[in-house]
Every structure is written in C-alpha cells, then in structure tokens.
Amino acid sequence: MGKFGIVLIGIFILFLSGCKTSKEYYTKKGTLKNIADYKLINATTDYYIAYNSVFYKRFKAKYEDASNSLSFTGNLYIQKDSSIIISVLKGIELYRVRLTKESVEILDKKKKTYTYGDYKLLWDKFLVELDYHTLQSILTNELFVYPINSDQKLIKRYKHEVGKDDYQLQSLKKGRFERKYRKEKTTNIIYHQFSIMPDVFKISKVNIKDFDVNSELNISYDNFIDINEKLYPSMINIEGNRGSDKFLINLRFEHIDIDGDNSLGFKFSDKYKKVDFNNEN
C-alpha cells in the first residue's frame, strides 16, 4: 500500500470518531410502536446533538484489510457545514488534514508536502461514494441520503418497517427491493437502510448496498453515552467490501467538546512542496 493509501485510511478512521469519557452506556432496547414514516424521521432529527463546532480529543482506532493492520490516535475538529480538520498522531503529529465541501487537503509534516484534490480518491479507497455532507453525518450520527448526488430532502421519501428490536428506515421497502432485484433481475439498485432505536431514536446501524458495482458498507454504533441529555455513540464499527476487496475499522472514543474553546487550524509554510492528488503515485 502506498503512502496516500495509508493516509486515506487514517482519514476515514478519523472521520468516524468522537465522544465523552463515560462507562455508563445506554443498553435499554425500548418499545416499538406503530408510527408514521414522517414521525420517525422527525423524531430522529429531533434527537440530534445540537452543535456549531465539535472537538474530538485523543481517540483510538484500528484498521484491517487483507494485507494491513494499522493503529491510529488523533484529534478532530468540525466547524459545522464548513470544514473538518484532523490531526493524525503516532507519538508525534504525522499528518494534518482539512476537508471542505469542495476539496481534500493533506499536510505531511515529516516530508513537508501539501497534497490536494477532490473526493474521488476517497471513493476509490473506501468502496462507496463519499462527500463532505455524508462524512459529517456519519460522524455525528445523523441521517443522510445515498447516493451522494441526491437531494438531502429526499430522506422524506424513505419508508420504514418495524424490525425485532428497532425501526428500519430504508430507501426501498423490502418487498419492492426483492421484486426488482430477485424477480425483475434489476441490477442498478442502491439499497440504503438505517436501523433506529425506539424511544431514544438514535441510529444504531447503517447499511448501503450498491448492486451495480457489487459493493456494501455496514456501519454500527454502540456504547451510547449521555451528552447534553441526548445519546451519542462511543464506539463505531465499519465493514466495507466491493467484490473481493474488504476492510474493517474499529473505533473507540475518549472525549468530546461541544461548542467549546478547543479547535484545530490548518496552516503551513511556503516551503511545503505542493502535490496534486491525481498525479501522486
């Protein structure tokens, strides 16, 4: 794996992290009730953590694929709907990363390089399409529409079913999906599903299947803790595959600061060498 393959793994790991130290985890399953689709969606958005900025401090993460097993720590700062800045640490700071709606930028502190580009390389590395809004939503345990070029208001068209322990909000109802895929043999299907816990209306799982390119991404949230009287996950597990390519990520979190004084900047010397993503081997 090349240098930027490792860096991008670090980026994706760092996107999916953050919490306040606590051992008091939410474990109650809750009670499922009959509920309209729009009421489920509204209840879920009502239980979002309200923030203008979030600072995630010193989390731990592990990554595995067929040929790599990597560990990271780091800090991360989100300025809502503006930028995500990440400091990648392993004893010392190795990289600093900034993501905006338009671009991905990486500072290699050791080699003194500034690398920039768009999100395509992240799409290729992590097997599904990613953009700023999707990553911010995953990080903050919020709903999002997939594929990424869709109008986010289309979440209102998602339908739900009642599962054994949770509500299942999905882009295609199971019956329609099975008819299109199994009976009509349609392959250009994207199936997107959220598992939502009753009573507390927090997302516990996300599943994305793109049958056209044979890819799947599963995200599970666990060890929910109380932050500002609302729940937030302190553990995230991610499993992705496209064909025979697979990766696994395990995330455990330590601290989170909502609208506090902590932040991260993104500055570098003119002496840094500038490199275009598309031309980097």
CATH of the domain at 224: 2.50.20.10
Q: Which residue, among 225, 164, 161, has the nearest Cα to 193 in the 3D structure? A: 161
- The predicted structure's pLDDT at residue 7: 60
Q: Which residue, among 82, 45, 50, 61, has the nearest Cα to 12 in the 3D structure? A: 61
Yes or no: say if 31 and 198 are a contact pair by the CB < 8 Å rule: yes
Whole-model pTM: value is 0.85
Bridge partners of 63? 70, 249
DSSP assignment of 217-240 equals: EEEEEEEEEEETTEEEEEEEEEEE
- The predicted structure's pLDDT at residue 21: 46
Handedness of CA 265, 271, 272, 273 (dihedral sign): positive
Strands (E), the chain: 53-65, 69-79, 83-90, 92-99, 104-108, 113-117, 159-162, 167-170, 190-196, 203-210, 215-227, 230-242, 245-252, 255-258, 273-276
- The predicted structure's pLDDT at residue 170: 94
CA atoms within 13 A on the CB side of 207: 12
Q: What separation in angstroms does the CA of 176 have from each of 36, 79, 87, 156, 191?
A: 19, 39, 44, 18, 11
| pLDDT at residue 214 tops 90 | no
Range of the domain at 203: 3-279
Task: Write the secondary structure of 149-172 as one string of H (helix), E (strand) and C (coil).
Answer: CCCHHHHHHCEEEECCCCEEEECC
Yes or no: say if 89 and 77 are a contact pair by the CB < 8 Å rule: no
| pLDDT at residue 184 tops 80 | no
| pLDDT at residue 12 tops 70 | no
φ, ψ (nearest 5 deg) of residue 33? -135, 160
Q: Could you read off the pLDDT of 50-97 as tens digits, one per residue?
A: 999 999 888 888 888 888 888 889 888 999 999 999 988 888 998 999
Which region holds residue 91: left if phi is over 0, alpha if psi is between -120 and 50, else beta? left
**Cα three-residue angle 134-281-219, rounded to 5 degrees:** 25
Percent of the chain with pLDDT over 70: 85
Number of domains in the chain: 1
Yes or no: say if 256 and 232 are a contact pair by the CB < 8 Å rule: yes
CA gap 16, 204 in Å, rounded? 14
| Residue 17 DSSP symbol | -
| Residue 270 DSSP symbol | T
Q: Could you read off the pLDDT of 128-159 as tens digits, one per residue?
A: 788 999 999 999 999 999 988 778 889 999 99
